[in-house]
Chains A and B, each alone.
Chain A
Amino acid sequence: DTAVSQTPKYLVTQMGNDKSIKCEQNLGHDTMYWYKQDSKKFLKIMFSYNNKELIINETVPNRFSPKSPDKAHLNLHINSLELGDSAVYFCASSQVWGYEAFFGQGTRLTVV
């Protein structure tokens, strides 16, 4: 069974569109994260959720909105997509905030 799963794996869309990426973890973890990895492989934290409550939003534009219907899911909704949003987005979870994180396979978003 996949521990942290993201869908879709690939997403190609036009500028200005709205899209969502879904993430689910079956590890029973209380903390979930979203990361953005750019073309140079730099990973930047976007959001952290601890037991469904947003902990930190690292200066991400408000076009990005995380939604957590329950502690096993943390979805990422992006409005008015821009070319600069093209990247690989990773969802992750950890049992204890700041300790071993389990990552999903990533969603490669391409905005054209």
Chain B
Amino acid sequence: SQQGEEDPQALSIQEGENATMNCSYKTSINNLQWYRQNSGRGLVHLILIRSNEREKHSGRLRVTLDTSKKSSSLLITASRAADTASYFCATVPDGTGNQFYFGTGTSLTVIP
């Protein structure tokens, strides 16, 4: 399977704390992306990191990529109740015609 796997499957934190989610994948990649899905809604793109990049920031989001370990992490700092959602990593492997393969997701609950 080319899908990624997120860890943990579920995470519950207090508002104001940081949340870290990890994604592991199996094949070499062109890029890796993180998406958020609120309950009953479609996915929203958060950030993309290319295979030659190691870290990217966007607002309260920080993404790292370690291609030697085939893993990525998403850090949400100073979490808010509105961050409650499922978070998915999506890998675009090399040589597959740039297809998206989504991971299993992390369900984040931020308690006010």
Taking Cβ atoms with an 8 Å cutoff, the residues of A that contact B are 4, 33, 35, 40-45, 48, 55-56, 58, 90, 92, 97-106
Q: Which one of B37, B40, B88, B97 lies within 8 Å of A56 (CB-CB)?
A: B97
Question: Which A residues are in CB contact (< 8 Å) with B109?
Answer: none
**With A41-B86, A41-B105 as given contacts, are A106 and B42 in contact (CB-CB < 8 Å)?**
yes
Chain B at the A interface: mostly helix, strand, loop or mixed? strand
Contact A43 B42 (CB under 8 A): no
Closest 10 CB pairs of A and B: A98-B98, A103-B42, A43-B102, A98-B92, A103-B43, A97-B98, A100-B45, A105-B42, A41-B105, A104-B42
Chain A at the B interface: mostly helix, strand, loop or mixed? strand
Contact B33 A100 (CB under 8 A): yes
Q: Which one of A43, A45, A98, A106 lies within 8 Å of B88 (CB-CB)?
A: A43
B99 in the interface (beta carbon within 8 A) = yes
Question: Which B residues are in CB contact (< 8 Å) with A102?
Answer: 45
